[in-house]
Amino acid sequence: MKRRREIEKSSSEIRSAIEELSMFIKLKPKDNLDAPRIHIPTKPFLHLCNLVLQVLDKIGPTMLVLRQDIHQNIQRLEKFCELDPSKYANVVEILKKEASEGNARKKTSCSKAFLWLTRSLDFMVALLQRLAKDPGQKMEQAVEESYNIALKPWHGWISSAAFKVALKLLPDSVTFMNILMAKDETYDNLKEEMQTLTSLLVPFLEEIHSILRLQGLDMLKSK
């Protein structure tokens, strides 16, 4: 058990996410000029979302509601993908199928799950950008500003009120940064990795948002 903890600590969630995104970019199918291919690999995308869950776990139980939503949305997409792993290896194929059946806007659709997972990644990018820029910033301020940008515009008043309560229970930023660091890592190393990750995530998420706009999903709000 001790050995396992040491192995886990030697590679942080930030590093794992960088490796995942770097591999995705390297293996991404090249666009054909006559017929550009839109491809968001399902499993790597869900793995990224699972890494977000691990980061939220480190923030603590205050992020429980958001964590549960992300977990449920990941499970929904995983189950759909299992119906035909080869066909649904590209998230876009899932979106197309639900759109053709008129199910995309239903509460339990994979399209909505994908939308909210994307917004959760938006939230994580905003938070990491703020902490990388100013590691000494109050955690409450960094989380609230990130929430206001990425999630609040789409949340109803109940979700927004619950988030306000959660802000009072956050760890301080120094504690959070210490938890994020891998074994023998320094603040400067972590800051650099956070910047690397966000630089990879931003164009990736921009591509996803363009897909959501094409599918008419980008402006959907929670009830």
What pLDDT, on the 0 to 100 scale, is given for residue 37?
61
Contact between residue 187 and residue 9 where contact means Cβ atoms under 8 Å apart: no
Residue 222 has pLDDT above 90, yes or no: no
CB-neighbour burial class of residue 31 (10 A; exposed 0-12, middle 13-18, buried 19+): exposed
What pLDDT, on the 0 to 100 scale, is given for residue 47?
93
What pLDDT, on the 0 to 100 scale, is given for residue 34?
42
**Mean pLDDT of the region 138-156:** 93
DSSP per-residue codes, 138-158: -HHHHHHHHHHHHTGGG--HH
**Mean pLDDT of the region 120-128:** 95
Give every CB contact of residue 142 below 8 A, 6+ residues apart in sequence: 127, 130, 131, 173
User: Is residue 25 one of the residues assigned to a domain?
Assistant: no
**Mean pLDDT of the region 50-77:** 88
The two structure tokens encoding residue 203: 């164009």
What share of the chain has pLDDT > 70, as a percent? Answer: 91
**Mean pLDDT of the region 166-186:** 86
What pLDDT, on the 0 to 100 scale, is given for residue 11?
60
What pLDDT, on the 0 to 100 scale, is given for residue 179?
87
CATH number at residue 82: 1.10.3520.10
User: Is residue 2 one of the residues assigned to a domain?
Assistant: no
* Count: domains in the chain: 1
User: Is residue 102 one of the residues assigned to a domain?
Assistant: yes
What pLDDT, on the 0 to 100 scale, is given for residue 116?
96
Regarding predicted confidence, which is higher, 155 or 38? 155
Mean pLDDT of the chain: 87
Residue 100 has pLDDT above 60, yes or no: yes
User: Is residue 95 one of the residues assigned to a domain?
Assistant: yes
Q: What is the pTM of this model?
A: 0.90
User: Is residue 3 one of the residues assigned to a domain?
Assistant: no
User: Is residue 47 one of the residues assigned to a domain?
Assistant: yes
**Mean pLDDT of the region 37-48:** 88
Domain extent for 43? 14-20+38-215
Instruction: Provide the residue type at 83 as one letter.
Output: L
User: Is residue 5 one of the residues assigned to a domain?
Assistant: no
B/e letters for 128-158, b = 16+ CB within 10 Å, e = fewer, are bbbbbeebeeebbebbbebbebbbeebbeee
Q: Name the residue among 53, 52, 189, 217 with its Cα closest to residue 132.
A: 189
Other C-beta atoms lying within 10 Å of the C-beta of residue 186 = 9
User: Is residue 220 one of the residues assigned to a domain?
Assistant: no
